Amino acid sequence: MDYQRGVITGESVWRAIVLYGANSATYKFAFGATLLEIAATGRDHVTLDELAPRYAELLCQALQRQPRQGTSGRSKFLDACRAFNAGDLDLDTLHRRTVQLGFVNVIDAFPKLGGEQAPVRYYEDRRKSLAPGLVLRDELLELARSVHAPDLDAETAARWRLVETAWATGVSGALLASSPSSTPSLVYDSGTQHLVLQTGQRRKSVAGVVAALSGYQDGRCAYCNQLMAQERSGPIVEHVLPWKLLTRDWNGPDVDAVWNLVLSCEPCNVAKRDRAPHESWMPWLEQRNNDLIESRHPLRDVLMAQTGATAALRRAALKDAYRRATELLPVVWTPSMGTHMA
């Protein structure tokens, strides 16, 4: 991820805030989505009264999907949302409770990274003014108008669904081969290109793999660094070590799994065909997998089970898989731009 490489932009810091870090509650997903929507209208000031309806709506919808939206005990605000969902609270009361209770922590916590003020500020806290609310800074208004905005929205939604699913099912670590088949696990479904929750024979879609992975490569092609939002075809799900290996005498790790999946532009996908990339590109994949793991992504334990518990083990496992793959399919493809090698 750009931010982890020291690249400070409106979108890199936003992704670091929303897509990175241990999650203990899902407020920040709802808050970030609400901010982007309101900023997209061009407004530079918003009151809590104006933020409340959409923010509460997103959390009420989330509670209907998964009753658990945090790891700590009770939340009076979420209780209000639950009461609304159950028909025990009217909409006006929900909005009033949201203004009173819903923003207490999130407005202070959202702009922080690792406990420090993030290097880009998106709003100024004006809760103590006559019309309590936020001043939306140019950094946020520009982000909401940018080519990145739809991706950020989809990436937030994907991480939200994966996080709540992991809490609801205790899915983490469940992909180990020794797990009983009735234990739920998050797996990639190549037919639908979705991450699905598999329990025994049942599969339930959780999130599209494009939205789940896009933020961790900053919306850019894995091979040529082009912004994929500018591509007509949109991102294509790409097997780094070719899927074709599964039709050969392949005895390496499952290549139809997240550790081996990246997003690319169409020209790179077409050019690469059934070849592995040149060895010099492979550190990109190693880094992306480390980013997913370090971001405390819900797929973290799955990735560690598939590729190794430490960065050193993962490097060795990837090198070994690459060596095996290029023994079977020796002709490799060299990506045409080197900007991602920086």
Interface positions with Zn ion (CB under 5 A): 221, 223-224, 226, 265, 268
What's the min distance (Å) between Cβ of 161 and Zn ion?
27
- Minimum CB distance to Zn ion smaller for 271 or for 329: 271
**Residue 312, phi-psi category: left (phi > 0), alpha (psi -120 to 50), beta (remainder):** alpha
What's the min distance (Å) between Cβ of 201 and Zn ion?
37
> Residues with Cβ < 8 Å from 98, sequence gap 6 or more?
52, 53, 55, 56, 77, 80
Could you tell me the sign of the dihedral formed by the alpha carbons of 106, 107, 109, 113, in that order? positive
What's the min distance (Å) between Cβ of 265 and Zn ion?
4
What's the min distance (Å) between Cβ of 215 and Zn ion?
17
Give the β-pairing of 116-117 and 185-189.
unpaired
Could you tell me the sign of the dihedral formed by the alpha carbons of 198, 201, 204, 205, in that order? positive
The SS3 of residue 249 is coil
| Nearest Cα residue to 295 out of 33, 113, 157 | 113
- Minimum CB distance to Zn ion smaller for 186 or for 268: 268
- Minimum CB distance to Zn ion smaller for 167 or for 223: 223
- Is 148 in contact with 154 (CB distance < 8 Å)? no
- Please give the C-alpha separations between residue 17 and each of 49, 113, 314, 317, in angstroms, as whole numbers: 24, 6, 26, 30
- Minimum CB distance to Zn ion smaller for 269 or for 306: 269
- Minimum CB distance to Zn ion smaller for 231 or for 294: 231
What's the min distance (Å) between Cβ of 261 and Zn ion?
15
**Residue 339, phi-psi category: left (phi > 0), alpha (psi -120 to 50), beta (remainder):** alpha
- Minimum CB distance to Zn ion smaller for 98 or for 260: 260
What's the min distance (Å) between Cβ of 133 and Zn ion?
42
The first and second tokens of residue 103, run together, are 């923003």
What whole-number distance in Å separates Cα of residue 226 and Cα of residue 269? 13
What's the min distance (Å) between Cβ of 188 and Zn ion?
21
What whole-number distance in Å separates Cα of residue 341 and Cα of residue 271? 19
- Minimum CB distance to Zn ion smaller for 9 or for 226: 226
